[in-house]
Structures are given as C-alpha cells and as structure tokens.
Structure 1
C-alpha cells in the first residue's frame, strides 16, 4: 500500500475517533446535538476531512474499496460548498448509521 494512502486512511480513522470523542457514548441525543453549535461544527469539519481523504485515496488507488466512498465525498462537498443547505438530520444520520461501518472498513484495510 502506498504510504500516502496509509496516511490518509489514518487521517480518516483519526477523524472518526474525534467524532466519537465529541459525541461520547450515549451522551448526546439528536436534540442536544442540534443545540450545540461547537459540536456540530466539529463533526462537520471531521466529515470534511474524511471526505477529502477518501477522495485522495480513490484518485490514488482504485484497488481500495470503501462502501459509499462517492457519497461521503459528495457529503464533504455539500458541507463545504452548500453550507447553507446542510441538514442536522442528515449529518446525525451519517454519524449514527454510516460512520461506524466506515470505521470497521478502515480498520480492516489497515489491519487493526
């Protein structure tokens, strides 16, 4: 595996761990998330990082398969370029349902 790809995979893993740290285990409900601007921005920023790293990986190594990579990159683009149309509900859904799957995939690729 290319060294850059490995670094980007660890960037994704780091961002996922930061999101977990921001939200804690069962500390945040959706209502709490909606009211906490700092946490929302921190989560969105980490999703941006994840999307950018995935984009770089996809361009560099087509053999690495990550579920929904294109959708994650598209979400990154929407947060950055369509910031006024970012929905708390969509971000929360991504965090709860999709990021745990992504974490498993990244750990498997890295052999952790």
Structure 2
C-alpha cells in the first residue's frame, strides 16, 4: 500500500468511526426524526465514497481488496447528485450494516 492509499483508508476509518457514533443507540424512528443526524450520516457516507474514488485513482491495488467498493461509490454519487431522492431506510441500512463491516476491513488493512 502506498502513502496516499494509507491516507485514504485513514480518512475512511475516521468517517466510519464518526458515523458509528452518530447512530449509536438510535432506532430507525429516531434517525428519521432527527434531521441533524441524517445530515451527519449523509456527509460521512459522502466522505467514505469520495475517499474510495481517490483510492482507486491513487492505489488501485489496495482499492481492489474492497469488494463492496462500487456500491459505496454508487451511494456517494446518489447522495451528491440525487439529494432530492434520498431514501432514509437505505441510508440507515448503510449506516448499520455496511459501514461497520467496512470499518473492520479498513482497520485490518491498516494494521
């Protein structure tokens, strides 16, 4: 892994850790009722997706070791370009299901 790849993975780790803190102890109903948490989750998913875009450009070999890479970049694109069509259930699922698994993969790669 090159220096830029390590930096991108570090950025992803920080965003994922923050996102996990934002949703900790909350239910889907809590999430849907809290615009601030929604915005925070959206922003961290954007950062994760953009960091993966940069990782692909700067360290494609490391990027290839993340099988769900395309899904995360797709999520980032929907957040940025389809802001008016966001599905809170999908965001919640990403936050609770995909981000924790991604964080484990990133942490393992950074060791």
Q: Are 2:105 and 1:105 equivalent residues in the alignment?
A: yes
Aligned to 1:52: 50
Distance 1:5 1:63 in 2: 9
Aligned to 1:87: 87
Deviation (angstroms), 1:59: 1.8
| Contact persistence 1:9–1:53 (CA under 8 A) | yes
Aligned to 1:63: 61
Deviation (angstroms), 1:20: 1.3
Distance 1:92 1:16 in 2: 13
| Contact persistence 1:8–1:57 (CA under 8 A) | yes
Distance 2:70 2:90 in 1: 16
| Contact persistence 2:31–2:37 (CA under 8 A) | yes
TM-score, normalized by length of structure 2? 0.94
Distance 1:91 1:82 in 2: 13
TM-score, normalized by length of structure 1? 0.93
Q: What does residue range 14-29 of structure 1 map to in structure 2 within 5 Å?
A: 14-24=14-24, 27-29=25-27
Distance 2:60 2:45 in 1: 21
| Contact persistence 2:20–2:100 (CA under 8 A) | no
Unaligned runs of 5+ in 2: none
